[in-house]
Amino acid sequence: MTMHDDLPAEIRALFTDAELAEIAESKPEPDNKDKPDALGLARSWTLHVEKLDHDRALPYTDRTVWTEHDLAGALFMRDFVEDALARLRPALADKVRRYAATADDLFRSFTTDDPGDRIAKIARIDLAGRGWWWFRVPTSGPIVQDLARY
């Protein structure tokens, strides 16, 4: 079993075996076989965004709904994607970035610009120099209620 066996076939098909091997060799923690590489992180970002989008239709009382802290976790995940992309040669990074862009576009579709003050408090970080995703929040759903408390 290789690192990319768990990827959906349509994602695996975007990359040659040599590219997949190069991505795996360039992961942020190369000595830790359990830590994901750029493609695994991009997949995780995609799954986080899909969950955030799905939860918007659920009631605030649903105990499966993600909170503002989960939103912060998703934003950190997007940071990890960028860090991993920086380890790849530019052409390969662009290819993985195109895959991540699908999730980026979905995230933009259900979020709006935000100064970031609330999410900075939630994540307990300084947003200086952070990516665009730190300055967007959902327009609807239970997380909006969570954010209203900040």
Confidence of residue 64 (pLDDT cuts 50, 70, 90): very high
- Give the mean pLDDT of 89-105: 96
Tally of helices (H runs) and strands (E runs) in the chain: 7, 2
- What one-letter code names the amino acid at 12? R
Q: Which residues contact 80 (CB under 8 A, 6 or more apart)?
A: 28, 41, 44
pLDDT for the residue 27:
83
* pLDDT for 7 beyond 90: no
Is residue 21 within 8 Å of residue 60, measured between CB atoms? no
| pLDDT for position 86 | 95
Q: What angle do CA 103, 69, 128 make, to 5 degrees?
A: 75
Q: The pTM is what?
A: 0.90
pLDDT tens figures, 128-139: 999 999 999 999
Tens-digit pLDDT profile for residues 26-58:
987 767 777 899 999 999 999 999 999 999 999
Cβ(53)–Cβ(110) below 8 Å:
yes
Cite the DSSP H helix spans in 26-149. Answer: 38-55, 68-85, 90-109, 117-123, 142-147
Q: Which residues pair with 136 in a beta bridge?
A: 113
